[in-house]
């Protein structure tokens, strides 16, 4: 699993980087059968209603060209990171559910007018 951490000055903070790395390792351990590439962005923002907040944005690249983006904002950077990774877990679990069967080269059987039986 690879992780890229970017953002403003908060991304340079060693404690926040270690929290992101720990959360990413836990996420990878929870889904060992998936090759996950994660990018975490930490940004400070000002909301006129809520004041200064820290936004954590996760972009998770999955196999088969799938991508998932999760954004969470909290007053504390550690809380924002934890909330973003917590929100990513159910989405990854949902994507882990079996999907429709893969398309095959063999055409489906034909329906006959009598009895609707496939051959």
Judged against a pLDDT cut of 80, whether residue 101 lies above it is answered with no
* pLDDT tens digits, one per residue of 4-37: 888 888 767 889 999 999 999 998 888 787 788 8
The CB-side HSE value for 105 (13 A sphere, CA atoms) comes to 0
Average pLDDT of the segment spanning 53-58: 93
Condensed to tens digits (0 to 9), the pLDDT of residues 37-49 reads 899 999 998 878 8
Q: Is 25 left (phi over 0), alpha (psi -120 to 50) or beta?
A: alpha
The domain segmentation of the chain, as residue ranges, is: 2-95
Q: How far apart are CA 9 and CA 119, in angstroms?
A: 66
pLDDT exceeds cutoff 90 at 67? no
Domain 2-95 CATH (choose: 3.30.160.100, 3.30.390.50, 3.30.70.141, 3.40.50.300): 3.30.160.100
């Amino acid at each position: 699993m690879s992780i890229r951490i970017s953002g403003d000055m908060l991304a340079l903070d060693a404690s926040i980087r270690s929290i992101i790395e720990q959360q990413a390792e836990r996420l990878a351990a929870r889904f060992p059968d998936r090759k996950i590439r994660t990018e975490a962005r930490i940004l400070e923002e000002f909301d006129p209603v809520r004041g200064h907040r820290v936004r954590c944005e996760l972009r998770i690249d999955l196999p088969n060209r799938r991508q998932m983006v999760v954004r969470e904002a909290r007053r504390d950077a550690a809380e924002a990171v934890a909330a973003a990774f917590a929100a990513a877990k159910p989405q990854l679990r949902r994507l882990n559910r079996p999907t429709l069967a893969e398309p095959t080269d063999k055409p489906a059987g034909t329906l006959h007018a009598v009895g609707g039986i496939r051959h």
